[in-house]
Chain A
Amino acid sequence: MGMTITEKILAAHSGRSEVKPGQLINARIDFCLGNDITAPISIEEYEKAGATGVFDKSRIALVLDHFTPNKDIKSAQQCASVRRFARKHDITHFYDVGEMGIEHALLPELGLVLPGDCIVGADSHTCTYGALGAFATGVGSTDLAAAMITGEAWFKVPEQMKFVFNGHLKKWVGGKDLILYTIGRIGVDGALYRTMNFTGPAISSLPMDDRLAMCNMAIEAGAKNGIIEPDKITEAYIKPRAKRDYEMVKSDPDALYISTYEWDVSDLEPQVAFPHLPSHARPVSEAKEIRIDQAYIGSCTNGRLSDLEQAAGILKGRKVAKHVRCIVIPATQDVYRQAMKKGLLEIFLDAGCAISTPTCGPCLGGHMGILAEGERCIATSNRNFVGRMGHVKSEVYLSNAAVAAASAVTGSITHPEEVTR
């Protein structure tokens, strides 16, 4: 019987010729990562266990991206523990303020995670790297501690789901809209424990930033991983970045799927996920007269260059509405630099946006844009749970960068076309 990309990668990393859903395996991992929230627990567990060394200092990334530049003394203490560990073990890929970026934007950008890899990260959005044709999944801190010591992790081989997207996407519609639509259709546990295989003509022509945004949110449907078969777009993205060998693994035509969804997305509108679940997705045209206090453009989902370009395209020559705060956070230093070179930062400044150094910051209600009671934010991030960005009585609506920028201009949730025509 044929296998999917995920099954092939898991088989290859557990020394088997074949794996089947439900099978428990111990897999060799190519790369693992943690951040300033999760790594401190991993480090404590690592030290408590009496481990004497890491499996490979060049295959571990420690990225201080969540509460950095440190927002308070406690978060500074957390980062200090990671800095000490990174120095002690001479961790090659340790990224601190100044070269740090949001981990799931930074690692692909640096070519550290590659097609065919098996990756675990102590962060739920580790599934982002499925966009490169890798098996990548989020784990907890203890799992990361074990992975840093052994270079292995245990998995139950996930059941495979297939999502076929037919047609051509309209202007203003991208990966974020496809994934919000998908989660809206299947629910926040619609892919629980499973793999989401994204495929079809609309995916074949989808740019890498959009693919990364899609796979990033597979976890919001409960999935173990989301994955896209590597192709020419993958190759073009990876080739100049990769510093080690990689393998472009493809699914067999006779691979088995527990379920298949097929949608024509030619008429799909930009999607907005209403509070308080990512599955509450609706077309933006149904979001009428929803006033906002804040627009947040950034995060591991949509803080990449193409997202900032979209936002700048709308904000150019326009102003952020009175009484609205628009916060733009480039996901990495390189995105920041490119945005500067291309004149995007000046557009944002002219429009009245605040621009921050890379950080996860407001996405998880950390800092740099916390909401007060009763406030509402349109955000390009990935979660809109109760209290996610601040007060338990605040609200988050999720969208792509163009919708967030258009909404910043009008002061209420708006289709980009309404602003640009």
Chain B
Amino acid sequence: MKFQGRAFKYGDNVNTDEILPARYLNSIDPEWLAGHCMEDIDADFVKEKKIGDMIVARKNFGCGSSREHAPIAIKAAGISCVIADSFARIFYRNAINIGLPIIECPGATGDIEKGDEVEIDLSQGTVKNLRTDRIFKFEPLPPFAQEIIASGGLMKYVMKKMGGAR
């Protein structure tokens, strides 16, 4: 699976309060959450982002609260994937569970700057920066996580296992 998008670039320790401030946690409507995505770290994000764009950050992306509203907001904002050096563990779980592609690729995150066009090949495990023409390899998700994503998220995976899938 291949996709291409424009990068929004951030640094280390982007936390869930920045991705989706708690003042908006009084709703679970994905569209409403998407309208406030990244608000406290980048007030222009919502105005500038287009469907298929990517978020690129350095280490420990998504640290802080367990709020699933954060990856939901990113996904509903039309972001195709998040590339980072590393992810905070609850964010990592949540992204897998809701089917938001996340990629750990420290080399690429140093190369990519804001506005760069980036091409991802999930099956090949490559990130290509079209500006610098550099290609970076990444480790695919563990098979267990891939199985969850292939099932369409954790709930469908669980219900299938329990024989109660609809």
Known pairs A142-B153, A188-B63; A365 contacts B18 (CB<8 A): no
B64 touches A142 (CB 8 A): no
- Determine, out of A67-75, A164-172, A201-209, the stretch whose residues face the partner at the interface: A67-75
Q: Complex formed: what's the CA distance from A192 to B144 in Å? A: 20
**What count of chain B residues pass the 8 Å CB interface test?**
43
B22 touches A365 (CB 8 A): yes
Instruction: Looking at the assembled complex, report how far the CB atom of A34 sits from the nearest CB atom of chain B, in whole angstroms.
Output: 10
Q: Complex formed: what's the CA distance from A392 to B40 in Å? A: 6
Known pairs A192-B60, A192-B86, A192-B89; A74 contacts B27 (CB<8 A): yes
A-B contact number at CB 8 A: 141
Verify if B9 is at the interface (C-beta below 8 Å from A): no
Inter-chain contacts of B86 with A (CB < 8 A): 189, 192
Name the residue on B nearest A382 (C-beta). B64
A44 touches B90 (CB 8 A): no
Verify if A200 is at the interface (C-beta below 8 Å from B): no
Q: Complex formed: what's the CA distance from A74 to B67 in Å? A: 17
B166 touches A124 (CB 8 A): no
Name the residue on A nearest B155 (C-beta). A49
Q: Mark B17-41, 1 if CB is under 8 A from A, else 0.
A: 1100111011110000000000011
Q: Complex formed: what's the CA distance from A365 to B24 in Å? A: 10
Name the residue on A nearest B161 (C-beta). A150
Q: Mark A315-355, 1 if CB is under 8 A from B, else 0.
A: 00000000000000000000000000000000000000000
Inter-chain contacts of A72 with B (CB < 8 A): 26
Q: Identify whether the interface residues of A are mostly helix, strand, loop, or mixed.
A: loop
A388 touches B13 (CB 8 A): no
Q: Complex formed: what's the CA distance from A276 to B69 in Å? A: 22
Inter-chain contacts of B93 with A (CB < 8 A): 139-140, 143
Instruction: Looking at the assembled complex, report how far the CB atom of A243 sits from the nearest CB atom of chain B, in whole angstroms.
Output: 27
Instruction: Looking at the assembled complex, report how far the CB atom of B34 sits from the nearest CB atom of chain A, in whole angstroms.
Output: 15
Inter-chain contacts of B159 with A (CB < 8 A): 49-51, 149
Inter-chain contacts of A388 with B (CB < 8 A): 17, 22
A41 touches B69 (CB 8 A): yes
B68's partner among A141, A149, A366 (CB-CB below 8 A) is: A141
Inter-chain contacts of A149 with B (CB < 8 A): 158-159, 162
Instruction: Looking at the assembled complex, report how far the CB atom of A105 sits from the nearest CB atom of chain B, in whole angstroms.
Output: 17
Instruction: Looking at the assembled complex, report how far the CB atom of B46 sits from the nearest CB atom of chain A, in whole angstroms.
Output: 15
A124 touches B68 (CB 8 A): no
Contact residues, A34-66 vs B (CB, 8 A): 37-38, 40-41, 44-45, 48-52, 66
A24 touches B63 (CB 8 A): no
B89 touches A222 (CB 8 A): yes
B40 touches A386 (CB 8 A): yes
Task: Classify chain A: how many residues form its interface, as a range.
Answer: 35 or more
B28 touches A41 (CB 8 A): yes
Contact residues, B130-166 vs A (CB, 8 A): 142, 144, 153-156, 158-159, 161-162, 164, 166
B94 touches A51 (CB 8 A): no
A142's partner among B41, B60, B68, B144 (CB-CB below 8 A) is: B68
Inter-chain contacts of A385 with B (CB < 8 A): 15, 17-18, 64
Verify if B124 is at the interface (C-beta below 8 Å from A): no
Instruction: Looking at the assembled complex, report how far the CB atom of A190 sits from the nearest CB atom of chain B, in whole angstroms.
Output: 10
Verify if A398 is at the interface (C-beta below 8 Å from B): no
Instruction: Looking at the assembled complex, report how far the CB atom of A241 sits from the nearest CB atom of chain B, in whole angstroms.
Output: 26
Q: Complex formed: what's the CA distance from A193 to B144 in Å? A: 17
Q: Complex formed: what's the CA distance from A78 to B67 in Å? A: 14
B28 touches A224 (CB 8 A): no
Instruction: Looking at the assembled complex, report how far the CB atom of A11 sits from the nearest CB atom of chain B, in whole angstroms.
Output: 18
Inter-chain contacts of A41 with B (CB < 8 A): 28, 68-69, 72
B residues with CB within 8 A of A? 13, 15, 17-18, 21-23, 25-28, 40-41, 59-60, 63-69, 72, 86, 88-90, 93-94, 97-98, 142, 144, 153-156, 158-159, 161-162, 164, 166
Could you write out 14 A-B pairs with CB less than 8 Å apart?
Answer: A24-B142, A24-B144, A37-B67, A122-B68, A124-B90, A142-B155, A145-B154, A146-B158, A193-B89, A222-B88, A365-B22, A366-B22, A387-B21, A392-B40
A residues with CB within 8 A of B? 24, 37-38, 40-41, 44-45, 48-52, 66-67, 71-72, 74-75, 77-78, 122-124, 126, 138-143, 145-146, 149-150, 154, 156, 188-189, 192-193, 219, 222, 224, 277, 364-366, 383, 385-388, 392
